[in-house]
Amino acid sequence: MISVIILGSGNVAKHMYTALGAQKSIEVVQCYNRKGILLNPEQDSKIITQDLNDLVKVDVYILAVSDDAIEEISSKLPFNDCLVVHTSGSVPLKTIKNNNRRGVFYPLQTFSKDKVVDFSKIPFCLEAEEEKDLVLLNKLASSLSEKIYQISSEQRNILHISAVFVNNFTNYLFSVGNDICEEHKVPFEILHPLIQETAKKITNINPDQAQTGPAIRNDITTIDRHLHILNNTQQKELYQTLTKAIQSKHGKKL
Q: According to CB under 8 A, which residues from 103 to 162 bind its own copies?
A: 108-110, 112, 115, 121-123, 125, 147, 149, 151, 154-155, 157-162
The conformation of residue 102, written as its DSSP 8-state character, comes to E
Q: DSSP 3-state assignment of 130?
A: coil
Q: Which of residues 58-97 bind its own copies (CB under 8 A)?
A: 67, 90
Considering the complex, what minimum distance in angstroms separates the CB of residue 114 from its own copies? Answer: 10
Beta bridge partner(s), residue 3: 27
Q: How many Å apart are CA 180 and CA 174, to the nearest integer?
A: 10
Q: Does 187 bind its own copies (CB under 8 A)?
A: yes
The conformation of residue 121, written as its DSSP 8-state character, comes to G
Q: 171, 218, 224, 251: which one contacts its own copies (CB under 8 A)?
A: 171
- The letter for the amino acid at 175 is S
Q: DSSP 3-state assignment of 166?
A: helix
Q: 54, 56, 80, 213: which one contacts its own copies (CB under 8 A)?
A: 213
Q: Does 204 bind its own copies (CB under 8 A)?
A: yes
Q: DSSP 3-state assignment of 152?
A: coil
Q: Which of residues 6-65 bind its own copies (CB under 8 A)?
A: none
Tally of CB atoms within 10 A around 117: 20
Q: Which stretch binds its own copies (CB under 8 A): 18-26, 93-101, 133-141, 175-183?
A: 175-183
